[in-house]
């Protein structure tokens, strides 16, 4: 036999459908901001990681070795020939010396999706010699602010890299 609907209200049952937001190219604004800067991405990257290694006023052998390894494996730097890398190194050092806001400028020159990885490289370099001194911590704190790294991401990064560099 055929089941009969007892009440007319049971004929149409409401369905909840997730409404997806419309596609908007405005999302690309954060990925491709209008940056008026004379910094290139490789210059900004090298300046920040080099500064991390120099944050305590000296560059330990482990930090130097880490920087060289990073230059060989990072996509930002590895395709540069030695003369280009040397020129970028000179530019980074000159800007550090000549510009009071060099760190903020370098951070603004980087794409947003690089911010966390750059912070991780800098933290790793500061920990490479097995010691974290107040000058390094101060550099990293300022870097966190300039890169807009969340406290949760910073805490997790610090925990992971401190264990990595301890053993």
Q: What is the pLDDT of residues 78-108, one digit of tens each?
A: 999 999 999 999 999 999 999 999 999 999 9
CA distance 29 to 42: 21
CATH number for the domain running over 37-166:
1.10.3680
How much is the pTM? 0.78
pLDDT at site 2: 57
Give the C-alpha separation, 69 to 141, whole Å: 25
Each residue's pLDDT tens digit, 51-71: 999 999 999 999 999 999 999
- Give residue-wise pLDDT tens across range 26-41: 766 655 656 678 999 9
């Amino acid at each position: 036999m055929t089941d009969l609907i007892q009440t007319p209200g049971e004929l149409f049952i409401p369905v909840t459908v997730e409404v997806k937001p419309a596609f908007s190219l405005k999302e690309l604004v954060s990925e491709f901001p209008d940056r008026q800067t004379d910094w290139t991405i490789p210059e900004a990257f090298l300046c920040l990681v080099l500064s991390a290694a120099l944050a305590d006023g000296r560059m330990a052998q482990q930090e130097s070795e880490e920087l060289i390894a990073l230059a060989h494996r990072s996509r930002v730097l590895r395709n540069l020939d030695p003369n280009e890398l040397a020129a970028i190194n000179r530019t980074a050092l000159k800007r550090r010396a000549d510009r009071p806001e060099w760190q903020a400028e370098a951070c603004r020159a980087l794409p947003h999706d690089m911010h966390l990885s750059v912070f991780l490289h800098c933290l790793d370099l500061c920990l490479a010699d097995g010691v974290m001194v107040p000058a390094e911590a101060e550099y990293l704190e300022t870097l966190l602010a300039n890169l807009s790294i969340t406290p949760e991401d910073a805490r997790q990064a610090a925990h992971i890299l401190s264990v990595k560099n301890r053993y």
